[in-house]
């Protein structure tokens, strides 16, 4: 086999590997946006718009007039108020078993949470963090404020 062909095949395999990784990272969907709201994904900054995907490791940021509402695939509703930074550290959800894990950090600002299926099926694998605290959840709606510096 020629090296050109080899490279082409290697490239193809890489493409599939990346596509698969993205599908696994897919965590939710932006539903509602007001004012300035962006998603930082690695080096990229994407405007948060309704219909935009949220991936694991994304950092969601709102400006002084901004807010954003997100639905995760297990039905969890996350909505952040102005001047907020929210990071989705981890999200796994198996649609057949409803098992998985969720870990999110509110670095600053305000966040409203309505828990989804994961907090029922995998309650010990669901954690929310602020700069000072780690929260465990027992099937709930709650609010977080991170004072920031």
Partner 1 sequence: MRFPGKGYILILVAFVACGGCASPDRIVLLPNADGSPSAVIVKTASGERVIDKPYEAVSVNRSGDISRDKETPDTVRARFGSALDAQPQRAATYVLYYLNGKVIMTPESRAIVKKLKDDLKTRSAPEIIVVGHTDLVGSDEYNDELSLERAKDVQEILIATGVPADLITISGRGKRDPAVKTADGVPEPKNRRVEISIR
User: Does residue 38 bind partner 1 (CB under 8 A)?
Assistant: no
User: Does residue 97 bind partner 1 (CB under 8 A)?
Assistant: yes
Asked whether the beta carbons of 126 and 92 are under 8 A apart, the reply is no
With CA atoms as reference, report the closest residue to 112 among 84, 60, 77.
77
Among residues 10, 18, 46, 133, the one that binds partner 1 under rule CB under 8 A = 133
User: Which CB atom, from 3 or from 125, has the smaller least distance to partner 1?
Assistant: 125
User: Does residue 59 bind partner 1 (CB under 8 A)?
Assistant: no
User: Does residue 75 bind partner 1 (CB under 8 A)?
Assistant: yes
- CB-based contacts of 119: which residues, under 8 Å, 6+ apart? 76, 102, 126, 137, 138, 139, 140
User: Does residue 111 bind partner 1 (CB under 8 A)?
Assistant: yes
User: Does residue 77 bind partner 1 (CB under 8 A)?
Assistant: yes
Backbone phi and psi for residue 113, each to the nearest 5 degrees, phi listed first: -125, 130
Residue the block writes with tokens 């999200």: 91
Binding residues for partner 1 (CB under 8 A): 29-34, 50-51, 67-71, 75, 77, 79-82, 84, 95-98, 110-112, 114, 130-149
């Amino acid at each position: 086999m020629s090296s050109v062909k080899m490279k082409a095949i290697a490239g193809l395999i890489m493409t599939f590997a990346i596509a698969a990784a993205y599908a696994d990272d897919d965590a939710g969907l932006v539903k509602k946006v007001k004012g300035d709201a962006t998603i930082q994904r690695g080096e990229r900054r994407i405007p948060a718009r309704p219909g935009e995907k949220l991936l694991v490791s994304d950092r969601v940021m709102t400006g002084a007039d901004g807010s954003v509402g997100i639905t995760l695939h297990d039905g969890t509703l996350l909505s952040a108020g102005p001047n907020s930074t929210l990071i989705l550290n981890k999200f796994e959800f198996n649609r057949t078993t409803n098992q998985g894990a969720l870990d999110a950090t509110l670095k600053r600002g305000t966040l409203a949470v309505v828990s989804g299926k994961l907090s029922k099926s995998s309650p010990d694998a669901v954690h929310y963090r602020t700069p000072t605290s780690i929260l465990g959840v027992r099937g709930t709606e709650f609010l977080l404020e991170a004072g920031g510096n």
